[in-house]
Amino acid sequence: MTEFSKISDQDLLAGLTTPRTARITLTTYRQLTRVAQASVEELKQLYRVDHAVRIKTALELGLRMQREVLPPRPLLDTPQSIADLLRPECRGLCEEHFWVISLNARMELVGCEDIAKGALNTVTPAMREIFRSAVVHRPARLWRRIIIPQVDRTQATPISRPPDASSAAVKR
């Protein structure tokens, strides 16, 4: 539910035109569907031309959005699928980046954000940025950590790094 879903039809129309025009429109047509079915010429008889055009434009945008076919969200259920998603974005980067990948309950992408840029071999993201991303995208779950291997820039293969003392402390 959006913040506008609780606003009355008359108030929404008043945002496009004037309160008087909104009241006349809903009194005359009774329903938004009937307003959408009316021609611009019919609406011009009630009030100014620019108000008729604004109302018809907004209703047409709503119709187009309703007909729009959304592309399927990518399924990110393996480390390889996440690497495939980020590879084009990360190609050519010379420093570490921290990405927050938000998934829904079906492991489909909800949001992907690069929230921190670090040095050559380290990045320290701010926790507030990680949680801000979680609030914005509302993922099904929030992972404690994401491990992306350091890549040797002279070779195209990842280098495996031994765990340091700090990551061993986190696992406990």
Q: Hey, what CATH topology would domain 9-67 get?
A: DNA polymerase; domain 1 (1.10.150)
For the chain, how big is the Rg over CA atoms in Å? 25
Q: Is 85 exposed, middle or buried (0-12, 13-18, 19+ CB in 10 A)?
A: middle
Burial 51-79 (b: 16+ CB within 10 A, else e): bbebbbebbeeeeeeeeeeeeeeeebeee
User: CA-CA distance, 172 to 165, in Å (whole number)?
Assistant: 11
Where along the chain do its domains lie?
A: 9-67, 79-150
- pLDDT tens-digit profile of 39-89? 888 888 887 888 888 888 898 888 888 888 777 888 888 889 888 888 888
pTM: 0.47
User: CA-CA distance, 29 to 25, in Å (whole number)?
Assistant: 6
Tokens for 63? Answer: 């119709």
